[in-house]
Structure 1
Amino acid sequence: MLPWKQVWGAFCLIVILGALSLSPVQCRTSNFQAVSDYQAINCRKHTALLTDFGAVGDGKTSNTKAFNSAIQHLSKFASDGGAQLIVPAGKWLTGSFNLTSHFTLFLHKDAVILGSQGDGRGRDAPGGRRSALIYGTNLTDVVITGNNGTIDGQGPNWWKRFRKGELNVTRPYLIEILYSDQIQISDLTLIDSPSWFVHPIYSSNILVKGLTILAPIDSPNTDGVDPDSCQNMRIEDVYIVSGDDCIAVKSGWDQYGIAVGIPTEHLIIKRLTCISPDSAVIALGSEMSGGIRDVRALDITAINSESGVRIKTAPGRGAYVKDIFVKGMVMKTMKYVYWMSGAYNQHPDDKYDPNALPEIKNINYMDMVAENVTMAGQLAGIDRDPFTGICISNVTIGLAPKPKKLQWNCTDIQGVTSNVSPKPCALLPSKGDDQGCPFPEDRLPIEDLKLKTCSLKTFYP
């Protein structure tokens, strides 16, 4: 029988050879553990630990270099089955880092990625915008997931400085993916982003699933998920507490968005729960100058939120919001159930064309129940540019103890209703109690995406 040390040495050699030059790799004398299998759009052939690249999970040491070194190293395996980087248990302080293609970032359940503090453009200040904590551009096949590990943007200091007017550039987002295809962001807890949490832009074939997104209800601009000029996207099983819109669907701002002309389209949102006392559960706009169409939302729960589905636009936006379908929504303690505004007059500069009028049409809401509501509907289109094709059916709205005296305030809109209580405004006449609104019967391609079961085994200290 071979001595124990020789057996162990042979085992270590096998591990090293099997890693196919993933270096640096160490044989550890700790327990061999298997992380639970996880679901992903693709599994990976190669694996590395963040600690293999010198990372220290004490919550104080900067690991920006370790993240970037690890991802750069693993990018070599993009054409050979891809690679996954495991973030083990610990608190991993880091600045912004870029992802790569055919890559998975996996967070252990006790792992916390902490965004480092720094200067943060865009809306906050004219100087620019700091890069997102986790960033990628021109990528294919990227997964950010875990067994409910945490990404903490450490937003309070950013919010404080923003409120004091101390920033000369705009606060960073938590996760931002640009010009990319086949993206999955799932099974994580995201907390305290300096600004927006999840921002895919100019991208397609995107799955956002199983996220818990948390920010104080008074935190500024902490949108949950912002699909921006994206196509074929699925958002499901997401729980959001936010100081801004839980889901904010966008496609560019005024003349700049018109020039790019990339719409957000073929978006489905399912099983969303939202708490946002000062904002919308689902907002369409206000930056919608590339167009928004074919948005489908089902089984939505709103609790203590300002409005259910809100359309925000203005002269100068151009483009359209059309073919919107919302079905099966439960709302508890709301300021508005329905809110549409054609006078959301924030503009990036004074160079927009006031004659670029948006087209808002074919907006469908059905099968909804609400309670403790202050006002049923605040619906205001644009003079000489009314919002048309509005349909609301099978909706029961219970009022708050002290509701608005006028429950429906409607101007410059056209549409019909069926089986709606309290009785809607005259611009939304009843078409009969048995006449429901339409909902698409076809399925979007992203709905038929089948995830693979991936196994992840590694050493842990």
Structure 2
Amino acid sequence: MELAILMLTVGSAVVEIKCGSIYRLEEAYTIFLNGEERGTTQKVVTSLFNLSPDRDYLLQLAGEDGSIRGEISFHTKTETAVLNVRDFGASGEGEQDDTVFIQAAIMACPPEGRVVIPPGKYRVTSLFLKSNSNLELEEGAVLIYDGRPGRLPILPGLLSGKEENSFALGSWEGESADMYAALFTGCGAENVNLYGKGEILGGASMEDWWSEENRQSSPHRPRMLFLTHCKHIRVQGLHFSMCPSWCIHPCFCSDLGIYDVEIINPEDSPNTDGINPESCEDVEIAGCHFSLGDDCIAIKSGKGRRAQENPVPGSHIQIRQCFMENGHGGVTIGSEISSGVHHVTVRDCCFRNTDRGLRIKTRRGRGKSCVVDAILFENIYMEQVDTPFVLNCFYFCEPDGRSDYVQTKEALPADERTPNMGELVFRHIYCTDCHIAAAFFYGLPEKKIKSVFMEDVRIRYAKDARPGLPAMMCGVEKMCRKGLFFRNVERLCLKGIDIRGQESEAIDAADVDVIIREVQE
């Protein structure tokens, strides 16, 4: 067993237990810190709280037989001051608006200090993060988002100034747009740790934020955590629920870590994505649990004027040891990816009861900077996933999404509006109880998918498999127990593919230039 420290603050740490398990350990381990027992864990990515600042620790994990299986030493960070929000006037009784009192503590916090929100219920609107600070929600602390229109600040989509120096603040689905401020908002913040065992309740319902009239209204719906142009941000341990829209939305950020976070929303809640890094680089998401109404993780890079004038791709994103369930997609790239996405690795994850597992969606019009390349998915288990693999270059989003230009399957001239799908690798992926299709890849005829490499992939179908559409595009018919479906690919390599129970041939490939296949049926 190997242990690795993923995150350290003044009072917490995140440890990854590397023993071959995915998300959950096969047995419970007892935690010892400096010889003192600190409970048990059965999670591969485990949080440690209630640590002292500026102190050496020896972490040891003991198995059920009492033997020490692994250990690692670490030193917590120093702190300059501790500010309790109760001392600033916050009541924690859930009745008064505690926003200004908590914000006062945040603004008064000296560099490397810590703001503590102790147990209690705190009704708040929007809080703004400050650089070089720690914000801890202790166990039993509950932030209740009082997000009624008229009470929330508005983040303008575009601030005034010279056009070449214009600064987009608010955002909605990849474009600059007015939006309500999130419960936590960071604008240009650096070196911030937001952590703890506390809860964040978004308070959304079908009567307010999720109603038909509010889904596309302007200003647009708020997030729970919105970060723009931030650096060196860490989020740990928090529980989010009932989010008005996307839960965690970092935009134009770098060096971002999100660990051991849980995001829970109803299955029918609209646009309640879990974590959506947009035009971000150096992102690590590990040990998180999602159960919600849309994509669990959606990697994006903008669209429209903002992406054309300032294309910033999403890059160097690592996702591992996560559990995704009850969403539209486990991990999605798109569809707002006009600036491109590259060097993404998703490994050691479990997907359960999602519509799609690994999903890439784009369309004509995203532009020549929309290059998706160097994508790796490996060591993933899926259960009750309708279609495990989807790449759709005809995604019918936006008002013109069903137009002939977007949806025609005839080759059009490749120009500055044409997206480009590069090299994609899928290996060591095991899927049970699939329903619609094992895989559905549909590239553009004028700009084919460059390379799809699949190795050691096992597919089994549900006995009561239900038919459905494998992708959101025009002209595709419902499928059930379909095999591997490929259209418009330059190079397709299939090695060690084990597919059983399909209703037709294992591979349905057309307009594929080169096929290398090793398939068991």
- TM-score normalised by the shorter chain: which range applies? 0.7 to 0.9
Distance verdict in 2 for CA 1:281–1:202, change over 3 Å: same
Give the secondary-structure state (helix, strand or coil) at the position aligned to 2:131. Answer: coil
2:360 corresponds to 1:311: yes
Q: What's the counterpart of residue 371 of structure 1?
A: 432
C-alpha contact (below 8 Å) 2:208/2:214 kept by paired residues: no
- For 1:307, give the aligned amino acid: R
The amino acid of 1:134's aligned partner reads F
Task: Give how far 1:433 is off.
Answer: 7.4
Q: Does 1:430 align with 2:492?
A: no
Change (3 A) 1:284 1:153: same
Q: Does 1:362 align with 2:439?
A: no
Q: Which moved more, 1:151-160 or 1:381-390?
A: 151-160
Aligned residue number for residue 455 of structure 2: 393
SS in 2 for 1:232: strand
CA distance in 1: counterparts of 2:422 and 2:498, whole angstroms: 23
Using a 3 Å threshold, how does the CA distance of structure 1 residues 56 and 281 change in structure 2: closer, same or farther?
same
SS for the counterpart of 1:392 is strand
Counterpart selection for 1:197 from 231, 247, 253: 247
The alignment status of 1:298 with 2:381, answered yes or no, reads: no
1:70 to 83, 105, 119: 105
Q: CA separation of 1:336/1:405 partners in 2, compared to 1, >3 Å: closer, same or farther?
A: closer
AA of the residue aligned to 1:103: S
Q: 2:148 aligns with which of 100, 112, 118?
A: 118
CA shift for structure 1 position 208: 0.4
Tell me the CA shift for residue 59 of structure 1: 1.4
Change (3 A) 1:66 1:315: same
In structure 2, distance between residues paired with 1:60 and 1:354: 58
Residue 49 of structure 1, CA deviation? 0.5
Letter in 2 for 1:418: K
Q: Deviations over 1:58-91 (max 9, x none)?
A: 11210111122111211xx22xxx2111001001
Rate the CA distance shift 1:40–1:399 in 2: closer, same or farther, 3 A: farther
Q: 1:163 to 1:397 in 2, by over 3 A?
A: farther
Which whole-Å CA distance do the structure 1 matches of 2:309 and 2:176 have between them? 21
Deviations 1:129-160 (A, max 9, x none): 111110011111001001x2111111114344
What are the superposed Cα offsets for residues 305-355 of structure 1, whole Å, 9 maximum, x if unpaired?
1111100101111221110001101000011011111112324899x9985
Structure-to-structure mapping, 1:262-301, within 5 angstroms:
262-277=312-327, 279-301=328-350
Write the distance in 2 (CA, Å) between the matches of 1:323 and 1:125.
Answer: 25
Q: Does the CA contact (< 8 Å) of 1:158 and 1:171 recur in 2?
A: no
Q: Which amino acid aligns with 2:79?
A: R
Measured against aligned partners, the alpha-carbon deviations of 1:99-151 in whole angstroms (never above 9, x if no partner) come to 100111100110001111312873699972111110011111001001x2111
Relative contact order higher in (CA < 8 Å, ≥ 6 apart): 1
Mapped partners of 1:379, 1:370: distance in 2: 17
Q: Which one-letter code corresponds to 2:352 in the other structure? A: I
Conservation of the 8 A alpha-carbon contact between 2:325 and 2:353: yes
SS at match of 2:322: strand
Q: Percent identity?
A: 23
2:204 aligned with 1:128? no
Matched, 1:154 2:168: no
Q: How many residues align?
A: 392
Task: Tell me, yes or no, if structure 1 residue 407 matches structure 2 residue 457.
Answer: no
Q: Secondary structure at the match of 1:429?
A: strand
Distance in 1 between the 2:208 and 2:429 partners? 38
Q: Tell which deviates more after alignment, 248-257 or 315-324.
A: 248-257
Q: Give the drift of 1:413.
A: 2.3
| CA displacement, residues 26-76 of structure 1 (integer Å, 9 cap, x when unaligned) | xxxxxxxxx7118999543211001111111111210111122111211xx
User: Cα RMSD over matched residues?
Assistant: 2.7
SS in 2 for 1:68: helix
Q: Secondary structure, in 3 states, of the residue corresponding to 1:330?
A: strand
Please say if residues 438 and 481 of structure 2, whose CA atoms lie closer than 8 Å, have aligned partners that are also in contact. Answer: no
Farther off after superposition, 151-160 or 125-134: 125-134
Q: Which residue of 2 aligns with 1:416?
A: 493
Aligned residue for 1:137?
A: 187
Which one-letter code corresponds to 1:413 in the other structure?
A: V
Say whether the 8 Å CA contact 1:142–1:182 is kept in structure 2: yes
Mark the runs of 5 or more structure 2 residues left unpaired by the alignment. Answer: 1-48, 53-73, 153-170, 407-413, 466-479, 500-505
Deviation string 1:196-238 (CA, Å, 9 cap, x unpaired) is 1111111111110010111011111111111111111110000
Query: Structure 1 residues 43 and 378 mapped into 2: Cα distance closer, same or farther (>3 Å)?
Result: farther
Counterpart position of 2:446: 384
Question: Partners of 1:239 and 1:313 in 2: how far apart?
Answer: 26
- Deviation per CA, 1:379-422, whole angstroms, max 9, x where unpaired? 11123111121111101100122441532332222321111132
> CA–CA distance in 1 between the matches of 2:324 and 2:454?
21
Q: Which has the higher helix share?
A: 1
The amino acid that maps onto 1:300 is: C
Distance 2:337 2:217 in 1: 26
Q: Which residue in the other structure is 2:261 paired with?
A: 211
TM-score normalised to structure 2 length? 0.71
Moved more, 124-133 or 242-251: 124-133
1:344 aligns with 2:406: no
The counterpart of 1:188, out of the listed 238, 244, 259, is: 238
d(CA) in 2 for partners of 1:169, 1:349: 23
Out of 12, 30, 50, the position equivalent to 2:85 is 50
